[in-house]
Amino acid sequence: MQWFKFERQFQFVGHRRRAFILSGALLLAAVVSLAVQGLKFGIDFTGGYLIEVGFPEEVELQPIRNALEEAGFQDAQAQHFGALNDVLVRIAPQGETSSAEVSDRVLRVLDTTFEMSADMRRVEFVGPQVGAELRDQGGLAMLIALLLILAYVAFRFEKRFAVGAVAALVHDVVIVVGVFSILQVEFDLPVLGALLAVIGYSLNDTIVVFDRIRENFRRQRRGTAEEVTNASINQTISRTLMTSLTTLLVLLALLILGGETIYGFAFALTIGVVIGTYSSIFVASTLLLATGLSRDDMMPVEKEGAQADSHP
């Protein structure tokens, strides 16, 4: 039952200049924001205290933030953790102060603010050096992933495909990180994991389109490179859009109903799926044309003497 089928050929390749202008503008905005205001790193990367407390009744977060700031805990963060009476407090490093002393001060502030006894559930401390190492190792892991993808796509397809795929992935990652910088959404380890998931998702979409382009170059004896590429995108667009829409439904549910704990993770994936879908259609495939891809590049190489060996 082909109820979701495009009967006409949309000229995706014909709009590649507009797409490149849009991508250039998004990348420029992302790079400028990263250079000017940077990322709002979470405790995972900057170091600090993570304190989980429970209250007998439901509490609001804004009074907690105000009370902690008045007590000298600058830039303290508070969010619900599970139920509305469970709160997760994040505090920046306090010099040589021990975790026990910081947690006791926080507990006294909370008890005074709500005039009820809060229950200390968990206290964790991440040192600044450990946070910096996590940040550096995370960036290195992403770089290694891109290099491995470059080698894989070059081996499976052709070097021009590898350039297009990796350029599209870098495009996606920079834009997602740029959105976090522009909106100053906290960037922590779950967000870094979401970026790696975005790379995998976007690559999967791109490989499907690339596979169809290679197949059509070998099957169709007529048509220019632009026509073959455009036809390939049209043939895979139904699958691309349906996969993206069903994935976005789940991500939007997590974004709206998942709470503050997984907000950054769901937000990064949501932006990444949208940008990844766009790049697999307008960026990765059309970059092949800019590298001068032709039908001859897709033809299988015949081994010398193979024709002679086929005769008795």
Looking up residue 138, the CATH number of its domain turns out to be 1.20.1640.10
Provide the pLDDT confidence category of residue 112 given band limits of 50, 70 and 90. Answer: confident
Check residue 95 and give its pLDDT.
67
User: What pLDDT is stored for residue 184 in this prediction?
Assistant: 87
Mean pLDDT computed over 189-198: 87
Segment 121-177, tens digit of pLDDT = 888 777 666 667 777 777 788 788 878 877 877 777 777 777 888 888 889 999 999
Per-chain mean pLDDT for the chain: 79
Domain identity same for 145 and 294: yes
Helix (H/G/I), strand (E/B), else coil: 86:
strand
Q: What is the pLDDT of residue 213?
A: 82
**DSSP per-residue letters across 213-243:** HHHHHHH--SS-HHHHHHHHHHHHHHHHHHH
Distances, alpha carbon 309 to alpha carbons 62, 299, 300, 304, in Å: 80, 20, 18, 10
Q: Which domain holds residue 75?
A: 48-126
Number of domains in the chain: 2
List, for residues 220-237, the tens digit of each pLDDT value: 767 677 788 888 888 888
Instruction: Please classify residue 113 by burial: count the beta carbons closer than 10 Å to its beta carbon, then call 0-12 exposed, 13-18 middle and 19+ buried.
Output: middle
Residue 269 pLDDT exceeds 90: yes
Output the pLDDT for position 35: 92
Q: Residue 188 in 3-state DSSP?
A: coil
Which of helix, strand or coil describes residue 84?
Answer: strand
Q: Are residues 21 and 77 in the same domain?
A: no
Tokens representing 127 are 């040192």
Give the DSSP letter of residue 157: S
Q: Domain check: are 94 and 70 in the same one?
A: yes
pLDDT-derived band at 8, boundaries 50, 70, 90:
low
Asked whether the predicted pLDDT for residue 294 surpasses 70, the reply is: no
Per-residue pLDDT for 82 more than 60? yes
Which one has a higher pLDDT value, 97 or 41? Answer: 41
Tell me whether residue 269 is in a domain.
yes
Does 149 fall in a domain?
A: yes
